[in-house]
């Protein structure tokens, strides 16, 4: 992150330049009044990203533990016992069109390469 601190009165005269600079990822400005931080300006994309991250952290407070468990299950192969999306949807009463007819939606048949036309 590239933090820049500037007084509100200085920022007033440089607002358009500041607005352009914060479009660079990781650049933001802290505006001060009498030397005290009062507000921060950053790109709308970075602001939205921070808000989304906070929402995910609030909705899934143990996300780090869940990720660690899934990583462990992937390494051990235990994830193969997880229900598939088709299983969950069928349990909810959705009627599914099974094209591949396999547990994890991956076809086990191999496709052969077509011969090149001369």
Report the predicted TM-score, pTM, of the whole model to 2 decimal places: 0.56
- Scored b (16 or more CB within 10 A) or e, 42-52 reads bbeebeeeeee
- Predicted confidence (pLDDT) at residue 35 exceeds the cutoff of 80: yes
Residue % of the chain over a pLDDT of 70? 82
Extract the runs of DSSP E, i.e. beta strands, from the chain. Answer: 2-7, 27-33, 36-41
SS3 of residue 108 by DSSP: coil
Task: For residue 82, give the DSSP letter.
Answer: S
List of domains in the chain: 2-49 (3.40.1620.10), 62-98 (no CATH)
Q: How far apart are CA 28 and CA 16, in angstroms?
A: 14
The mean pLDDT value for 78-96 works out to: 88
């Amino acid at each position: 992150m590239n933090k820049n601190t500037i007084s509100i009165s200085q920022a007033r005269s440089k607002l358009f330049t500041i607005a352009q600079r914060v479009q660079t990822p990781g650049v933001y400005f802290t505006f001060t009044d009498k030397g005290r931080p009062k507000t921060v300006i950053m790109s709308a994309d970075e602001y939205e990203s921070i808000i989304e991250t906070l929402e995910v952290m609030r909705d899934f407070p143990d996300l780090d533990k869940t990720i660690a468990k899934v990583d462990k299950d992937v390494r051990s192969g235990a994830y193969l016992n997880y229900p598939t999306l088709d299983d969950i949807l069928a349990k909810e009463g959705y009627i599914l069109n099974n094209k591949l007819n396999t547990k994890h939606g991956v076809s086990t048949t191999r496709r052969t390469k077509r011969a090149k036309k001369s």
